[in-house]
Amino acid sequence: MTVEMRGGAVSDSAYEKKRDFEATPEPRPGKKNARDGAPIFVIQEHDASSRHWDLRLQIDGALVSWAVPKGPSTDPSDKRLAVRTEDHPLEYADFEGVIPEGEYGGGTVIVWDRGEYRNLRADKDDGRDGDGTDMKEALHEGQLEVWLDGEKIRGGYALVHAKLGGDERAWLLVKMKDDEADARRNPTSTEPRSVLSGRTVEQVAEAEREKEAG
Ligand code: MN
């Protein structure tokens, strides 16, 4: 997937081509640039034609994205399918709301988790044997190892370009073995609330219905 970059924002991109910004409340790509300091990640729960969790990692000026049908696991023995989707603009990290039915991705979105992340492949601290590979190279190689510092999701995660069944979009998301691994947690079902608004997907959808009903 080629994404044209202008001033750090995603322009004339797959993201824009898929959307009618007169119809969807999702953000237009803006002027938001890669910030100084640690890059961010966001996990958005998306109750669309089928419910999934969208994992997005800030790599340079964009949010590189995967749709995870079962959501992230905290159990290292789970391998979760992660389907690569189009890069999203940095503005998307704050988006919560209802995409109208019939529009691309129609359904309700909440910011299920977010925080900063570290590239473990670049890292030589904490006793980890990083090899100095930056995120762009790691993405190209199809082997990402990141430390997520979210409110719900923490610790090392690997994203591997597995190309299951020959599908170029198919990656696997796997919790790495570390102190944050926990086979008993199941945060996608026990911690359903937005870290931004405290609302569930159902509450956001209900609020939108009430607003439309006037
Ligand atoms: Mn989605």
- Distances in Å between the Cα of 125 and the Cα atoms of 44, 106, 119, 122, 128 are 30, 42, 11, 9, 6
CA 141/CA 174 separation, integer angstroms: 17
- pTM higher than the cut 0.85: yes
Burial (Cβ within 10 Å: 0-12, 13-18, ≥19) of residue 87: buried
| Residue 156 DSSP code | E
The 10s digit of each residue's pLDDT in 113-170 is 999 999 999 976 655 667 889 999 999 999 999 999 999 999 999 999 999 889 999 9
pLDDT at site 36: 66
72 CA distance to ligand 1 centroid (A)? 14
Neighbours of ion ligand 1 (CB under 5 A): 46, 54
The 10s digit of each residue's pLDDT in 8-26 is 455 578 999 999 999 999 9
pLDDT at site 7: 44
141 CA distance to ligand 1 centroid (A)? 24
